[in-house]
Structure 1
Amino acid sequence: MPRGIAADVHSAVRRRRAVAVAGAVSAGLLVLSACDKPTPRATVTVGKSSISSEAECYKDGDNLGQQEAAKCALKKSSDTIKVAQSETLRIGVDPEVADTGWALWINGQQVTNVYKKTYYSFQGVDLFADQQGQAAPKQLYISIVEQNKTASGPSSEFKGVWNFKLENSDA
Structure 2
Amino acid sequence: MTALFSRGKGRRAAAAVGAVTLGLVALTACDKPTPLATVTVGSTSVSSEATDGCFGDGKALDKSVMEKCLSKKDGKTVKVGAGEKVRIGVEPKIADTGWVVVAGGPVMPEPTNNTYRTFDTDTLFTQKNQMGQATLMDKVTVTVIELNKGEAKGMWHFNLERDGS
Q: CA deviation at 1:54?
A: 0.9
Q: CA deviation at 1:59?
A: 1.4
Report the equivalent of 1:36: 31
Equivalent residue in structure 1 for 2:45, among 50, 58, 81: 50
Q: Displaced runs of 4+ in structure 1, greater than 6 A?
A: 11-15
Structure 1 contact 101–115 (Cα < 8 Å) conserved: yes
Report the equivalent of 2:157: 163
Q: Deviations over 1:112-133 (max 9, x none)?
A: 12111111122x3324459758
The letter of the residue matching 1:48 is S
Q: 158-167 vs 124-133, which deviates more?
A: 124-133
Q: CA deviation at 1:19?
A: 4.3
Counterpart CA distance in 2 for 1:62 and 1:133 is 36
Equivalent residue in structure 1 for 2:21, among 26, 34, 43: 26
Q: How does 1:42-81 map to 2 (within 5 A)?
A: 42-56=37-51, 57-65=54-62, 68-81=65-78
Aligned length: 156
Identity of aligned residues (%): 45
TM-score in terms of structure 1 length: 0.74
Equivalent residue in structure 2 for 1:111, among 80, 97, 107: 107
Structure that is richer in strand per residue: 2
Structure 2 contact 69–155 (Cα < 8 Å) conserved: yes
Counterpart CA distance in 2 for 1:17 and 1:52 is 44
SS of corresponding position for 1:29: helix
Counterpart CA distance in 1 for 2:57 and 2:29 is 15
SS of corresponding position for 2:21: helix
Q: CA deviation at 1:28?
A: 2.0
TM-score in terms of structure 2 length: 0.76
Counterpart CA distance in 2 for 1:36 and 1:23 is 22
Structure 1 residue runs without a partner (length 5+):
150-154
Q: Deviations over 1:83-130 (max 9, x none)?
A: 1121111111111211111111113x32212111111122x3324459
The letter of the residue matching 2:38 is T
Q: Provide the alpha-carbon RMSD of the alignment.
A: 3.0
Structure 2 residue runs without a partner (length 5+):
none
Instruction: Answer with 1 or 2: which has the greater Rg.
Output: 1
